């Protein structure tokens, strides 16, 4: 199994999207958590963007010792100088240089010819490699770049000292087949440099960021750039938790390993939401409130018989707390009503009385009642399927 490097850019691509800006302390808190989560590289910021971003990058770089810390810079001297200042105290620094390579960006945004851009890129990658132990180069808008020019740029940066080459789908335009083909074409022409790590960085404008990242892995990519909760420019980046869980659940399909501690995914997602005040949509894969909720009666029935019928991963595996309501003979109706409320069921007094009766019968037999049990009970009550009250002398277990 090959090792896949996880490059987390929550603090850079994620943080630069509207509503997600974080101050130095918040970035530090999240960086510590992301390091514990097991990522390989944390992109701490884009130091030229503001003095605050430079300061936060320096703070993260000084504190994070196990992961590599990256700082972003355009292929321009003042950007590179700022990024190197940001990385000054990093134990394992990575300078992340980028410049757009598509004709569209060159003509309208940078107003440069292909030759001018290539010169500028080579100059800055050379300079960066002399001042930082590791250099990554990103060809911005790679997926819309002419493949011959892209390959020329990739060979030039590798010859100038970059050891990681990232080919982003900057505007989320690519499809899995096209994206994989681009990597295969580039790899084929990198024959003399088998150790160069190719990296994918996908945006979700067409909802394809995860699919494109997985296709890139199939094509030999061994670094994926992603973010917690999939935050990032516009529709966001590939989401780290979706990627990690996809690779875990489909180990049969993707022969790569990561160091991600799956049980930290949910707590990390919650920490980001509480820091930024932006909650995760309920239907979000892995970390959304409904990701493990089962509403349809047929699904609940299947889950109760065997969770594998409708769950491809147990919630506890990704750190979603198993909410259990311990109901015993002394439990009150209020506890039951408030848990049902939290689960989204407002009950009438009659429904509550019936739920309580059924819950007590089950508690006698099983000692504790899970959220799944409660949902099943309330649905039965509402469908009029509650069992008849037990005859005097019969045991709770037989009623169930």
User: Nearest-CA neighbor of 170 among 150, 189, 149, 145?
Assistant: 145
Q: Report the distance separating Cα 257 and Cα 4, nearest Å.
A: 6
Q: Does 79 bind ligand KIV (CB under 6 A)?
A: no
Contact set for ligand KIV, span 97-116 (CB under 6 A): 98
Binding to ligand KIV by CB under 6 A, coded x per residue (else -) over 5-34, reads: --------x---------------------
Is 168 a binding residue for ligand KIV by CB under 6 A? The answer is: yes
CB nearer Zn ion, residue 199 or residue 376: 199
128 binds, among ligand KIV, Zn ion, none (CB under 5 to 8 A by kind): none
Member of 58, 105, 187, 201 binding ligand KIV (CB under 6 A) = 201
Stretch that binds ligand KIV, among 118-126, 164-172, 306-314, 343-351 (CB under 6 A): 164-172
Number of C-beta neighbours around residue 375 at 10 A? 21
How far is it, in rounded angstroms, from Cα 151 to Cα 169? 16
Contact characters 202-231, ligand KIV, x per CB under 6 A: -x----------------------------
Residues 6+ apart with CB under 8 A from 115: none
Residue 138's binding partner, choosing from Zn ion, ligand KIV, none, with beta-carbon cut-off 5 to 8 A by kind?
A: ligand KIV
The CB-of-111 to Zn ion minimum distance in angstroms stands at 22
* 137 contact choice in Zn ion, ligand KIV, none (CB below 5 to 8 Å, kind-dependent): none
Least distance from ligand KIV to the Cβ atom of residue 55, Å: 21
The residue assigned the tokens 């259990």 is: 324
Estimate the crossing angle of helix 77-86 against helix 114-131, to 10 degrees: 30
Q: Which does 98 bind (CB under 5 to 8 A by kind): ligand KIV, Zn ion, none?
A: ligand KIV
Q: Please, which residue, 13 or 204, has the CB nearer to Zn ion?
A: 13
Q: Each residue of 28-39: b (16+ CB within 10 Å) or e?
A: bebbebbbebbb
Nearest one of 142, 136, 140, 130 to 157, comparing CA atoms: 136
Q: Does 141 bind Zn ion (CB under 5 A)?
A: no
Is residue 13 close enough to count as binding Zn ion by CB under 5 A? yes
Helix (H) or strand (E) holding 141: none
Interaction partner, residue 183 (ligand KIV, Zn ion, none; CB < 5-8 Å by kind): none
Stretch that binds Zn ion, among 7-15, 152-160, 286-294, 304-312 (CB under 5 A): 7-15
Is 43 among the residues that bind ligand KIV (CB under 6 A)? Answer: no
Of 247, 244, 280, residue with least CA distance to 261: 244
Express the helix, strand and coil content of the chain in percent, nearest 5 each.
Answer: 50, 15, 35
Cβ atoms 38, 248 nearer than 8 A = no
Site for ligand KIV in 129-158 (CB under 6 A): 138, 140
Residue 9 CB, nearest approach to Zn ion (Å): 7
Residue 126 has φ and ψ, to the nearest 5°, of -60, -50
Task: Establish how many alpha carbons lie within 13 A of residue 133's alpha carbon, considering only the half-sphere containing its beta carbon.
Answer: 9
The binder of ligand KIV chosen from 5, 102, 143, 170 (CB under 6 A): 170
Are 87 and 135 a contacting pair, CB within 8 Å?
no
Site for ligand KIV in 276-315 (CB under 6 A): none
Buried/exposed 188-217: b ≥16 CB within 10 Å, e otherwise: eebeeeeebebbbbbbbbeebbbbbbbbbb
Task: Identify what 145 binds: ligand KIV, Zn ion, none; CB under 5 to 8 Å per kind.
Answer: none
Please report how close the Cβ of residue 209 comes to Zn ion at its closest, in angstroms: 10
For Zn ion, which is the closer residue by CB, 13 or 40?
Answer: 13
The answer to whether 149 and 133 have CB atoms below 8 angstroms apart is no
Q: Residue numbers of the site for ligand KIV (CB under 6 A)?
A: 13, 98, 138, 140, 166, 168, 170, 201, 203
Using CB under 5 A, list all residues that contact Zn ion. Answer: 13
């Amino acid at each position: 199994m090959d090792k896949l490097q996880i490059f987390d850019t929550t603090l850079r691509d994620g943080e630069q999207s509207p509503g997600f800006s974080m101050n130095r302390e918040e970035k530090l808190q999240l960086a510590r958590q992301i390091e514990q989560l097991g990522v390989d590289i944390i992109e701490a910021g884009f130091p030229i963007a503001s003095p605050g971003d430079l300061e936060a990058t320096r703070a993260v770089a000084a504190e994070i010792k196990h992961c590599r810390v990256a700082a972003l810079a355009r292929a321009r001297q003042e950007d590179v100088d700022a990024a190197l200042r940001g990385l000054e105290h990093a134990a394992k620094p990575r300078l992340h240089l980028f410049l757009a390579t598509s004709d569209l960006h060159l003509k309208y945004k940078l107003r440069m010819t292909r030759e001018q851009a290539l010169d500028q890129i080579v100059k800055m990658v050379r300079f960066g490699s002399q001042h930082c132990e590791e250099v990554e180069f990103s060809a911005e808008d790679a997926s819309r770049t002419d493949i011959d020019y892209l390959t020329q740029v990739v060979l030039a940066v590798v010859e100038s000292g970059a050891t990681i080459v990232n080919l982003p789908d900057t505007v989320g335009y690519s499809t899995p087949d096209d994206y994989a083909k681009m990597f295969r074409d580039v790899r084929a022409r990198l024959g003399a440099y088998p150790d160069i790590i190719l990296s994918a960085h996908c945006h979700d404008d067409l909802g394809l960021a995860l699919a494109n990242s997985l296709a890139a892995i199939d094509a030999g990519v061994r670094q994926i750039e992603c973010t917690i909760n999939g935050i990032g420019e516009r529709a966001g980046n590939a989401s780290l938790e979706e990627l990690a869980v996809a690779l875990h659940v489909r180990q049969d399909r993707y022969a790569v390993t990561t160091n991600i501690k799956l049980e930290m995914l949910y707590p990390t997602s919650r920490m980001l939401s509480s820091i930024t005040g932006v909650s995760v949509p309920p239907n979000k894969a892995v970390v959304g409130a409904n990701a493990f909720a089962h509403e349809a009666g047929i699904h609940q029935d299947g889950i109760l018989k065997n969770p594998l019928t409708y769950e491809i991963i147990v919630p506890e595996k990704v750190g979603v707390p198993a909410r259990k309501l311990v109901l015993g003979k002394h439990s009150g109706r209020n506890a039951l009503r408030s848990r049902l409320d939290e689960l989204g069921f407002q009950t009438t007094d009659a429904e509550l009385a019936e739920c309580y009766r059924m819950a007590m019968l089950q508690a006698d037999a099983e000692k504790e009642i899970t959220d799944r049990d409660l949902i099943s009970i309330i649905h039965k009550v509402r469908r009029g399927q509650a069992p008849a009250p037990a005859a005097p002398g019969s045991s709770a277990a037989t009623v169930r």
